[in-house]
Amino acid sequence: MALDEYQKRDFKIIGTTPVRPDGVDKVTGRAQYGADFYLPGMLVGKMLRSPHAHARIKSIDVSAAKALPGVKAVVTGADFPATAKGDTLDVQEHCLANGVALYDGHAVAAVAAVDANVAKQALKLIKVDYEILPHVTNIEDAIKPDAPIVQAGRRGRHVPEGYSDNCTGWCEFGHGDLEAGFAKADKIITRTFKTSSTHQGYIEPNACLANMGADGRADMWCCTQGHFQVRNLCAQIMDMDQSALRVTASEIGGGFGGKTTVFIEPVALLLSQKAGLPVKLVMTRDEVFKASGPTVASMTDVRIGMTNDGKITAGDALIRYEGGAWPNSTIFPGAQSAFASYDLEAVRAQGLNTLTNRPLQAAYRAPGAPQSTYAVEAVVDELCEVLGLDPIDVRLKNAAQKGTKSSYGPTYDDIGLIQLLEAAKAHPHYSAPLGPNQGRGISNGFWFNFGGETSVSLALNFDGTITLVEGNPDIGGSRAAMSMMAAEELGIAYEKVRTIVADTASLGHNEVTHGSRVTFAVGLATIKAARAAKAEMCRRAAKIWGIDADAVVWEDGFAKPAGANAGEHDPMPIEKIAADSPRTGGPIVGHHEVTADGAGVSFGVHICDIEVDPETGFTKVLRYTVLQDAGKAIHPDYVEGQMQGGAVQGIGWALNEEYIYGEDGRLQNAGFLDYRIPVASDLPKIDTVILEIPNPGHPYGVRGVGETGIVPPLAAISNAMSRTIGVRMAELPMSPPRVLKAIKEKG
Partner 1 sequence: MVMVTVWGSLRAFTDDRAAVEVEASTFKEVLDALSRDYPGLQVQIKAGVSMAIDGVIYKDAWFTPIRPDSEVVLMPLMVGG
Q: Which residue, 171 or 282, is less far from partner 1 as judged by CB?
A: 171
β-strand 312-322 against 686-691: which pairing, if any? Answer: unpaired
Residue 441's DSSP bridge partners are: 608
Q: Which stretch binds partner 1 (CB under 8 A): 46-54, 577-585, 593-601, 636-644?
A: 593-601
* Interaction between residue 174 and partner 1 (CB under 8 A): yes
Q: How far is the CB of 707 from partner 1 (least distance, A)?
A: 6
Q: Nearest 5°: phi and psi at 23?
A: -65, -50
Instruction: By CB under 8 A, tell whether 69 contacts partner 1.
Output: no
Q: Does 342 bind partner 1 (CB under 8 A)?
A: no
Decide: 46 and 111 in contact? Cβ < 8 Å: yes
Least spacing, CB of residue 293 vs partner 1, in Å: 10
Tell me the C-alpha distance between 140 and 365, whole Å. Answer: 25
Residue 710 CA from chain centroid, whole number = 10
606 binds partner 1 (CB under 8 A): no
228 is a site residue for partner 1 (CB under 8 A)? no
d(CA 265, CA 272): 11
Question: Strand 55-61 relative to strand 572-573: parallel, antiparallel, unpaired?
Answer: unpaired
Find the binder of partner 1 among 16, 242, 284, 329 (CB under 8 A). Answer: 329
Pick the stretch among 236-244, 313-321, 359-367, 496-504 that binds partner 1 (CB under 8 A): 359-367
Q: How far apart are CA 267 and CA 482, in angstroms?
A: 34
**Residue 686 CB, nearest approach to partner 1 (Å):** 20
Query: In the complex, what is the shortest distance from the CB of residue 193 to partner 1, in angstroms, rounded to a whole number?
Result: 21
As measured in angstroms, the least distance from the Cβ of 217 to partner 1 is 30
Helix, strand or coil, per DSSP, at residue 315: strand
**How far apart are CB 580 and partner 1 at their closest, in Å?**
39
| Other beta carbons less than 10 A from residue 403's beta carbon | 10
Q: Please tell me whether residue 593 binds partner 1 under the rule CB under 8 A.
A: no
CB of 330 to partner 1, least distance (A): 8
Q: Is 336 in the site for partner 1 (CB under 8 A)?
A: yes
The enclosing H or E element of 113 equals strand 107-113
Alpha helices, H only, 130-264: 139-142, 178-183, 227-238
- Nearest distance from C-beta of residue 498 to partner 1, angstroms: 28
User: In angstroms, rounded to a whole number, what is the distance separating the alpha carbons of residues 525 and 350?
Assistant: 37
Q: Which residue, 273 or 341, has its beta carbon nearer to partner 1? A: 341
**Residue 723: enclosing H or E segment and its boundaries?**
helix 713-725
Closer residue to partner 1 (CB): 174 or 205: 174
- The nearest distance, CB 209 to partner 1, in angstroms, is 25
Give, as ranges, the residues between 384 and 413 that touch partner 1 (CB under 8 A).
408-413
Dist CA 441 CA 716 (whole Å): 5
Q: Does 332 bind partner 1 (CB under 8 A)?
A: yes
Say whether residue 257 binds partner 1 (CB under 8 A): yes
Alpha carbon distance 352, 96 (integer Å):
27
Selected binder of partner 1 within 74, 126, 363, 542 (CB under 8 A): 363
Q: Which of 201, 515, 641, 650 binds partner 1 (CB under 8 A)?
A: 515
Single-letter amino acid code for the residue at 356: T
Q: How many CB atoms lie within 10 A of CB 66?
A: 15
User: Which residues are paired to 269 by β-bridges?
Assistant: none
Judged by beta carbon, residue 361 or residue 526, the one nearer partner 1 is 361
Q: How far is CA 469 from CA 39, 316, 455, 464, 503, in A?
A: 25, 47, 9, 16, 10
- Say how many Å lie between the first and final Cα of the chain, rounded: 59
Nearest to 621 by CA among 710, 689, 721, 690: 721
User: Which window, 298-306, 514-522, 604-612, 616-624, contacts partner 1 (CB under 8 A)?
Assistant: 514-522
Among the listed residues 77, 473, 598, 694, the single contact to partner 1 using CB under 8 A: 598
Interface residue with partner 1, options 6, 103, 173, 221 (CB under 8 A): 173
**How far is residue 481's CA from residue 487's CA, in Å, rounded to a whole number?**
10
> Beta partners for 207?
282
SS3 435: coil
Residue 447 within binding range of partner 1, rule CB under 8 A: yes
β-pair type (588-596, 572-573): unpaired
Q: Between 315 and 561, name the residue whose CB sits nearer to partner 1.
A: 315
Q: Out of 243, 401, 595, 668, which residue is the one contacting partner 1 (CB under 8 A)? A: 595
418 is an interface residue for partner 1 by CB under 8 A: no
Decide whether 452 or 631 has the Cβ nearer to partner 1: 452
- Interface with partner 1, residue 711, by CB under 8 A: no
Phi, psi values for residue 282, rounded to 5°: -130, 125
Size of the site for partner 1 (CB under 8 A): 48
Longest dimension (CA), the chain: 89
Residue 90, phi then psi, degrees to nearest 5 = -60, -45
Nearer to partner 1, 170 or 700 (CB): 170
Interaction of residue 514 with partner 1, rule CB under 8 A: yes
Min separation Cβ 332 and partner 1, Å: 4
| Residue 280 in the binding site for partner 1 (CB under 8 A) | no
Which positions lie near partner 1, rule CB under 8 A?
A: 1, 3, 157-158, 170-175, 200, 256-258, 260, 329, 332-333, 336, 348, 350, 363-367, 408-413, 447-452, 514-517, 595, 597-599, 697, 707
